[in-house]
Structure formats: C-alpha cells, structure tokens
Copies of this chain bind each other. A is one copy, B any other.
Amino acid sequence: MKVFYKAVLPKGFKASAAACGLKKSGKLDLALFYSIIPAQASAMFTSNKMAAAPVKVCREHLKNTRFFQAIIANSGNANCFTGLAGMKACRRSVEVLAKELVVEKKSILVGSTGVIGKPLDFMKIEKAIPALVKNLSSKGISLAEKAIMTTDKFPKTVTVKFRLGLQDITVCGVAKGAGMIAPHMATMFAFIFTDAAIARPAMKEALKEAVENSFNRVTVDGCMSTNDTVILLANGCAENKLIQNKSDKLKFAQAINTVCRELAKMMVKDGEGASKFIEIKVERAATVAEAKKAGLAIANSNLFKTAIYGENPNFGRIVAAVGACGIKVKEENLKIDLGDLKKKNILVRVSLGRGKAGCIVYTSDLTPEYIKINAAYN
C-alpha cells in the first residue's frame, strides 16, 4: 500500500470547480465530482437533529437508488435551518445538474458547508453548473479540493494505491475541516473515490469502521455540525475481481482506514486557530469505548487545551476531565504522561489502570486565534 499526500482521482472519476459567488471573497466555492459510469455509494451523515437540506436530500437519494454519478458540494453557505426554501434550493440544484449531466436526479449527492441559517441563493449555483460540467477532468480535483474549503488553511487530500490480483486500485479522499469539529462527525466533508469493484455490504462495513477510527476520534471544539457528510463512491473501473473474500476485504478496509485517518489528522492540524497537534493515547482501559470516552473528555476540556497552548504542564486538568467523564477510575491507578509540551506535535499518554483496551484521540489546542476567527466568522 502506497500513501500519497495529494489527490489523484481513480480511473473513471473527474472533477471541476467554480467560484459562483457564495463566498464574498470571490474564491472557489462550488465543486463537482463525477463518475463516468454509475458508482456504488456508502455514506454517513451528522447525527445532529438539525440536519441541513443537502443531508436530507442525500438520505432520500440513498434510499431510492443504488447507483450514483455525481456529488455537487458548495462552501460559503450550509443551507441549514433554511426550511422549505432550503430544500427547494437543494432540489433545484440537483435538477439542473441532472439535466446538464444527463443522469437521473437521484443519482446525484449534495453537500453544503458554511454559515447556518442563511438563505441559499441557488441561482448562483444554477448559473455555474454548465461550465462546471464542461470543465470536468481528472485534473479538476486540484481545484475541487479547494472549492470545498471554509476556514481551512490548506486542502486535505490523500491517495492510497494498492494491488489486488493483477489490478492497481486507487482510493482518493478529499476533505474539509476546520471548526465545529467534534465526533459524530464534525463540520466536515470527506468525499472518497475508488475505482475498486466491491460488493456494497463490504464497502459499507469498511467505511463504518474507518469513520469510527478517524472522524469520530477527532475534536477541535466539541461542537457538532449540522452538515457533516462522508461519501464513498466505488465505480469498479479498475476491473478487479469483485472484492468479497476476507483477504481482499481486509486490504480494501486498510486503504479506506488510512485515507480516513490521514484526512482526520489533517483536520485537527488545521483546526481553527490550532498551534499544536495533540495525540491523546488512552491505555489500560476496560474497553475501547471507555478509552474513547476518556480521550474525548480530555480533548474537549477547554482547560486542558488552553494549558497545552500555554505549554503549561497542568496535568490536574486531565485528572479533573477523566474524573468527570463517568468512568470509575481510581486515583491511585491513573497515570499521566504529558510529554514534551514545547513541541508542535504532542503525545499525551493516559493510563486508566483498568484493563487492556486503548484508543487514540486527536485534538488541537485552544488559542486566542480560535476566538478571533469565530468572534468574526459569519
């Protein structure tokens, strides 16, 4: 398995981007991802009760069909808490795109990210669609990866290549962060494309596990978004023998896992205002769930995050966070190793002294810059 920190679209995928005017800055704000033949999809969305219109539309389409050809995603507006008008705007974009691509409406998935509660001017999207379709190319990914960014400082892309029988398989993921990042999932997109031929159940299983091990273990500010979307499309263009035996499934799962984990780590590194990348390794927990609970409790403690920013070895804040999270850990068994706080990448090790399970959680520090960004962002 080879890992590249750039986006290389697998066979049969194309992408394009446009600046349609949703971002006042005039930057790229609309991305199209397209598979030349219908692809299978697995997807996971926010569990927020205030799910945005595009999340609702995706859920509908996923219920109604098994084959997908495109994802259209905009930044600059979340199209969330926008009521019926928001749903109409989302459906209208789908309709116009379906006509332009000559595909079924239900074969299109949608993502929106940006400010919540602001009406979406879909005319801007509609006008941009013809050029978006015309510009589709395999190299368009280098623009599309930028068009989904909001407060992100850099695009997040990973490509994994591995061999399956006689065929080369590519898995390529592009994602965005960078605030409202908390498990289940975050204000994030991760669109993952592969040319592998794979049965849907195996695809679903691989994605679920990968998301649990990646996006559900990162937190920037503990705030769960309304628009979180992870979509995996597999179009089979690699012409491999259908992935269904154990060893092939494992190889595929490892590739998806790697893509998701690397994207999740990039989100944390680019967390709003982040000056440190923190890896919290919880060890000797009774169960993985318990380790994750403790890890996230520490990662979401403002006092802990601020201490790390200040390179202040105040381990008492970890003690307080672990003690408050509902695990029956005993004072005499809790061991904390804060590592070297002067570094940019910090490893914090916490041993609960309860069992043999463990888990790694990733987070960033809390800085004046986070406040500056979010005091103004609207």
Contact = CB atoms under 8 A, between A and B. Distances in A.
B377 A366 contact: no
Contacts of A328: 49
Interface stretch (A12-20, A75-83, A90-98, A134-142): A75-83
B377 A78 contact: no
A116 B300 CA distance: 18
Nearest to A184: B324
Given A310-B375, A314-B377, A375-B312, A50 B322 contact: yes
A368 B289 CA distance: 34
A355 interface: no
A81 B319 CA distance: 7
A232 B293 CA distance: 34
A339 interface: no
A357 interface: no
Interface stretch (A59-67, A162-170, A221-229): A221-229
Contact of A371 (B47, B367, B377): B367
A375 B315 contact: no
Contacts of A320: 48, 50, 80, 116, 180, 223-226
Total identical chains: 2
A327 B226 CA distance: 14
B49 A303 contact: no
A317 interface: yes
A184 B374 CA distance: 28
Nearest to A315: B117
Contact of A378 (B78, B314, B372): B314
A47 B301 CA distance: 17
A302 B334 contact: no
A184 B326 CA distance: 12
B329 A49 contact: yes
A215 interface: no
A306 interface: yes
Interface residues of A, number: 61
A303 B226 CA distance: 13
A317 B223 contact: yes
Given A116-B319, A331-B83, A366 B376 contact: no
A303 B224 contact: no
Contacts of A116: 314-317, 319-320
Nearest to A86: B331
B50 A307 contact: no
A286 to B, nearest CB: 14
A321 interface: yes
A316 B370 contact: no
B50 A334 contact: yes
Interface of A: 47-51, 78, 80-81, 83, 115-118, 179-180, 182, 184, 221-226, 300-303, 306-307, 309-310, 312-317, 319-324, 327-332, 334, 366-368, 370-372, 374-378
Given A222-B300, A307-B375, 11 more contacts: A47-B324, A49-B324, A50-B324, A80-B316, A81-B334, A222-B222, A222-B301, A223-B324, A307-B378, A314-B377, A314-B378
